[in-house]
Structure 1
C-alpha cells in the first residue's frame, strides 16, 4: 500500500470513529476500531490512558450529552497518523466533570491526532477546549468568581 492509500484508509477509520461511535453512540463499533493495546498520550482528567479509559470517556460524554455529535472541519494524514479538527455539539442533560445538568446547548473545539495500525486506532494525542465548555456550563474553570 502506498503512502497516499495508507493515509486515506487511516482517515476513513478515524472518520468512522468520529461519525459512528462519538456522534451516534455505536459502542459495538468502538470495540472494532480501537486496538487492544491503544495508548492515549493525553488522557482526560480521571481517565486511564488505555482502551478502557477511552471507552469510559465516550460513555461519560454520551451520558452527559445524549445528543453528542461531532462536526469535522478538516482532516489530514501523513502515513498512518491522522489529524482532525472538529467541533463537538450537544445538550447538557447529565452530570459532566462535577457539573449538574443545565439543559444548555454546548459546543467546543478539539484537535486530535490518531495513529491507525492494521485498521485500528492505536494511539491518540489531543487538545480539547474544555475551558470554553466549562464556561458554557456555568462553571468557573479560572476560579475568578468571588
Structure 2
C-alpha cells in the first residue's frame, strides 16, 4: 500500500488541475476532459450545466464566441484536496476584438479526480461579450476553513489574513493595517497596473472605499494556504451612500466577489494579487478600470 504524504497530495492535485487546463482549455480535447472529473462532480458556477460534461460544454460555448480562446494559469496554490488559481483567458471575438478575462478558480479533488468547483469571474467582460445569465450576484456556497494538515506557519498566515479582513475591512480599523501589511508591500491587480504599492496608498484607497460604503463588510468564503501563500474567496457587501472614484452616491447595494492571493513574509503581507468581479461595481454605480 502506497502512503501519500500531504506534500505528495498537493503536488498530485496541482498536476491534475494543470492537466485539465492543458487538455481542455489549451488543446481543446473535449473528448478527454470528462475523465478528469469525479462521477459526483458539482459545479457552483451558475453558467455551467450540471454533470461531468458541464465544464466542456461551457467552454465550447465560449470558444464559439471567441474562436481560439485559451486559458493560462497565472498563480496556483495547492492545499491538500483543494487547488485555487488565477487564470487569464485570451483570444479574439468573431468581430476581431481582443478578448481578455481574468478569473479565479477553486477545485476540490476526490479519489484523484476533480469533484467540485467554485469560481470568481470578471463578469463585466462576459457582459461585454453578450453572455446571458449574469443577472444574479454570482453568489456561490461557502466552504470550510483550512482542511487537512498544515504547518504552524501556514496556520499563522491564514489567521493573519482572516484577521485583516475582520479588523481592517469589516471593522474599518485602518489604524490596525500596520500589523498586517509591510509598509512597502506590493499590490497587483490582474486587470490594471494602475494600483499603487505601499501601505500609505492602501490606507488612502480604503479610506475612500469606506467613505463610499460606510456599511462595508467582508466575508471570507474560502481559504487555502501553502508555504508563504494564502488565497481566499471573499464577498464584499455594502451600500453606495457616499461618493468614490467619480461615482455615487447611488444608494444602490454592492455584493461583490473577489479572489485575493497574499505572500506572507516575516508575519506580514508583503505582496498581494487580486481578481475582481467588476460587474458588481458597475451595478452599484461606480466606474471601473
TM range (shorter): 0.7 to 0.9
Q: Is the 8 A contact 1:87 1:110 kept in 2?
A: yes
Shift in Å, 1:112: 0.1
Q: Is the 8 A contact 2:188 2:272 kept in 1?
A: yes
Shift in Å, 1:89: 0.2
Higher-Rg structure is 2
Correspondence for 1:75 among 218, 223, 229:
223
Shift in Å, 1:140: 7.5
Name the residue aligned to 2:185.
38
Q: Secondary structure of 2:151's match? A: helix
Shift in Å, 1:92: 0.6
Name the residue aligned to 1:116.
264
Pairing 1:127-146 to 2, within 5 Å after superposition: 127-137=275-285
Structure 2: give runs of 5+ residues left out of the alignment.
1-149
Alignment pair present for 1:20 and 2:167: yes
Task: Name the stretch that deviates more: 118-127 or 34-43.
Answer: 34-43
Number of residue-to-residue matches in the alignment: 140
Assess, with a 3 A threshold, how the Cα gap between structure 1 residues 78 and 64 changes in structure 2: closer, same or farther.
same
Return the TM-score normalized by structure 1.
0.86
Return the TM-score normalized by structure 2.
0.45
What is the root-mean-square deviation of aligned Cα atoms in Å?
A: 2.3
Distance 2:208 2:283 in 1: 19
Structure 1: give runs of 5+ residues left out of the alignment.
142-146
Name the residue aligned to 1:96.
244
Q: Secondary structure of 1:52's match? A: helix
Larger RCO of the pair (alpha carbons < 8 Å, separation 6+)? 1
Task: Name the stretch that deviates more: 104-113 or 39-48.
Answer: 39-48
Q: Is the 8 A contact 1:88 1:108 kept in 2?
A: yes
